[in-house]
Structure 1
Amino acid sequence: DSVFDTCFSPDDAFIATASGDNTCKLWNTQNGECVCTLVGHTGSVSSVCFSVGGGFALSASHDHTAKIWDTSLIAESYCAMTLFGHTNNVNSACFSQDSSRVLTASLDGTTKVWNSRTGECVLTLKEPGACIFSACFSPDDVKILTTNFDGSASLWDAHTGTFLRKFSGHTEIVFSASFSEDGCYIATASFDKLIKVWSTFSGAMVCTLKGHSDFVFSARFSSSGNHLVSASADCT
């Protein structure tokens, strides 16, 4: 079935893939062999990532859950915890930089922060009428960035849940957003075929990048912050 997401382990020794067949697979990067299949979701798996320090993987699914997997023994990986609480598809999930928290974004209009050790939901962010497509922590774990069906992105305090500001300017769904390495800028990728760059602190739009002829699914900064790479439905 379709593969919706993929990522490297921190040591680049393995790749994780998330699929519409309800599983994640872990692959050896040297020989391409599948070393483990993570089974447990009952809906398509929309995203997968490893914890920054390694040892755990995190998956998000259309079965309304996210799962934390113990991958310390990669070939014997198992589900360590299931995060219940969303009432619609979970579109994305990620660890904080210190791996102490997990962030999930759902079509139920909420973004949730979880204690990765206990599985307790410690914070719920909600915008009335929203459908959340993605969420990520800032590089310093102090802020949360969410993207919405209404063509906007929102910035939140990651500890209190306080709404800080909205980035509005797209005319279609904002599918994903990312921070620059220093956290000073935000890039939003939209179905309006545009990428916009914003100041994190003032909320001002810095520039609009045009060139794609179809939906833009993602835009990511280089580590230097001087370049952006984007992916689109126009096959580029």
Structure 2
Amino acid sequence: MLRERNSSNSYSVFRDLSFRELNRCRVRTRPWLPGVVVENDVIALEHDGDEAIPFALSFCEINGYHHLLAASDEEGYLSLFDTRKVSPSFTSLNRTASRACEWVAHKNAIFDVCWLKGFMCVLTASGDQTIKAWNTETKKCVGTMKGHSGSVKSVSSHPSNPDCFASGSRDGSFALWDLREESSSSVTDRETSISPLAQVKNAHSASKMKRKRGKVASTSITSVLYLKDGVSIASGGAGDSVVKLWDTRNLKSPLTQGCPAPDRSDTKVRTLHGISCLSQDLSGTLLAASCMDDSIYLYDVLNLEKGPRGICSSCDFKIDSFFIKSRISPDAAHILSGSSDGNVYMWQTQSSESAPLKFSGHASEVNAVDWCPSGFGKFATSSDDGTVRVWELREGSSRQRPSPAAASRKRVTAFPFSESSNILGNHTTSDSTPANQRSPTVFSTPPASSSKKRRPDSSPSSVLNPPSSKRTIRDYFLAAHTKA
């Protein structure tokens, strides 16, 4: 795998957390979007003229490459977009803009995508029951993970170790993986693959209560999330609205869990609603759970068992399928979500009871959303209408672009595979560079390191067997506070 470690980032998440949680300092947040102008770029997601429904979006988290957006769809394609390539007019057609390249990553739908930390490598979770790691420079698969017996619905990378990640599947299990593990060959399909380091089956067992028509609640794991301490994993399932927190050093039982109504008598009824998505902010303090009762519950990671500290909902906001996702902004000030009514909703996390902002433009259910890591007000959404939109919230000015609802779809063509190698040239323009001064080169990847297989300094299972310690996520906050 072509990699380059990013060791220049000295930011301490836990120091930030300690001030927020232990000292109870009020974090400065941006105003509630006064006088903003909404701009967006509309891209029709299609392959050889046939429309495809996107399922997942993910912005690259590597500094200098935050403009790269990965999108997956029901046809098994993985597409990369350069979100700086915004046309000056919605009606113009620029066939070299926006989409950088695409390729068939799976022969089945891809339900989730995730960038590995620090590398230009994307994970894809598919309905073919596998997970694949892709080098975005060469568009080559550098690892195939097999171990689930159902569609893989969710994948989440380790917050600091680029070789480790977690996955959740429709088979009711979540698994931990390490790309440094040796691949093995299958007798049946003769394909080499990596097996999971650990797997927890029946992580969210079906409730004894039955749904309508006598159907038992699903055991599917719909979302997994590696927390910022690097040893804890949050999971959510389709059968109930319980969020479980697991310690990867001891996976026999969950460390703690939370649900929407922990102290109410109607808990059994409320917990029947499944979870479609889990997300966290950059510092790891806040955890959001999108629930099938048309609500998003906000939890304090350190007090999960006490129930949600806030609830985001609206009379028009609907979550009618498990494809609808939500994301907390990097600064934890806002939460963004798709909706079955075809709109995008945004709430303030500090006043979730307030009415949300509603963004119109999509013609059908909005499923995936994601925030750009750099800069406030830039995010992407995808919809069953076959489009991906990149939105930007800017301060009011005399020059305003057409409203999102009136925007026409911009059809773009991906570069042929034979030409795609010419796209990945050197390009260091930052996201803040004016559009009229940007180079026409689409994007590049960081300089590649040696392709020889690295010899790990420790056992590949080190994420599961760290030095003897019984510290929990709360201890990381305390340690950071002491150092501060």
TM-score normalised per structure 1? 0.92
Q: Contact 2:317–2:345 at 8 Å: present in 1 too?
A: no
Query: Match of 1:95?
Result: 226
Long gaps (5+) in structure 1: none
Q: Contact 2:325–2:368 at 8 Å: present in 1 too?
A: yes
Return 16-25 or 116-125, whichever deviates more. 116-125
Return 210-219 or 173-182, whichever deviates more. 173-182
Alpha-carbon displacement from aligned partner over 1:156-202 (angstroms, at most 9, x marks no partner): 12122122121111442172111111111111211111111111011
Matches within 5 A, 1:84-233: 84=201, 85-87=203-205, 88-109=219-240, 110-119=242-251, 120-127=253-260, 128=270, 129-161=272-304, 162=306, 163-169=308-314, 170-173=316-319, 175-203=324-352, 204-222=354-372, 223-233=374-384
Return 121-130 or 72-81, whichever deviates more. 72-81
Q: Per the alignment, in what secondary structure is the counterpart of residue 201 of structure 1?
A: helix
Q: Contact 1:4–1:45 at 8 Å: present in 2 too?
A: yes
Query: Match of 1:235?
Result: 386
Using the TM superposition, give the Cα deviation of residue 77 of structure 1 relative to its aligned residue in structure 2, in angstroms.
Answer: 4.4
Q: Per the alignment, in what secondary structure is the counterpart of residue 160 of structure 1?
A: helix
Q: Per the alignment, in what secondary structure is the counterpart of residue 154 of structure 1?
A: strand
Given the alignment, which residue of 186, 199, 215 partners 1:82?
Answer: 199
Q: AA paired with 1:225?
A: F
Q: AA paired with 2:337?
A: T
Distance in 1 (alpha carbons) for counterparts of 2:355 and 2:317: 14
Q: Contact 2:130–2:146 at 8 Å: present in 1 too?
A: yes
Distance in 2 (alpha carbons) for counterparts of 1:140 and 1:15: 22
Q: Contact 1:36–1:74 at 8 Å: present in 2 too?
A: no
Query: Structure 1 pair 156/32, CA: closer, same or farther in 2 (3 Å)?
Result: same
Matches within 5 A, 1:34-49: 34-49=141-156
Q: Per the alignment, in what secondary structure is the counterpart of residue 205 of structure 1?
A: coil
Using the TM superposition, give the Cα deviation of residue 73 of structure 1 relative to its aligned residue in structure 2, in angstroms.
Answer: 5.1
Query: Structure 1 pair 78/12, CA: closer, same or farther in 2 (3 Å)?
Result: same
Long gaps (5+) in structure 2: 1-107, 184-192, 206-218, 261-269, 388-484
Alpha-carbon displacement from aligned partner over 1:89-119 (angstroms, at most 9, x marks no partner): 1111111123221111111212211112322
- Structure with the bigger RCO (C-alpha within 8 Å, sep 6+) is 2
Q: AA paired with 2:276?
A: F
Query: Structure 1 pair 207/103, CA: closer, same or farther in 2 (3 Å)?
Result: same
The answer to whether structure 1 residue 64 and structure 2 residue 172 are counterparts is yes
Using the TM superposition, give the Cα deviation of residue 233 of structure 1 relative to its aligned residue in structure 2, in angstroms.
Answer: 0.8
Distance in 2 (alpha carbons) for counterparts of 1:126 and 1:59: 22
The ranges of structure 1 where at least 4 consecutive aligned residues each deviate by more than 6 angstroms after the TM superposition are none
Given the alignment, which residue of 19, 23, 26 partners 2:126?
Answer: 19
Using the TM superposition, give the Cα deviation of residue 205 of structure 1 relative to its aligned residue in structure 2, in angstroms.
Answer: 3.0
TM-score normalised per structure 2? 0.46
Distance in 1 (alpha carbons) for counterparts of 2:259 and 2:145: 30
Q: Contact 1:196–1:205 at 8 Å: present in 2 too?
A: no
Q: Contact 1:6–1:15 at 8 Å: present in 2 too?
A: yes
**Which is richer in helix?**
2
Q: Contact 1:197–1:206 at 8 Å: present in 2 too?
A: yes
Using the TM superposition, give the Cα deviation of residue 216 of structure 1 relative to its aligned residue in structure 2, in angstroms.
Answer: 0.5
Distance in 1 (alpha carbons) for counterparts of 2:122 and 2:351: 37
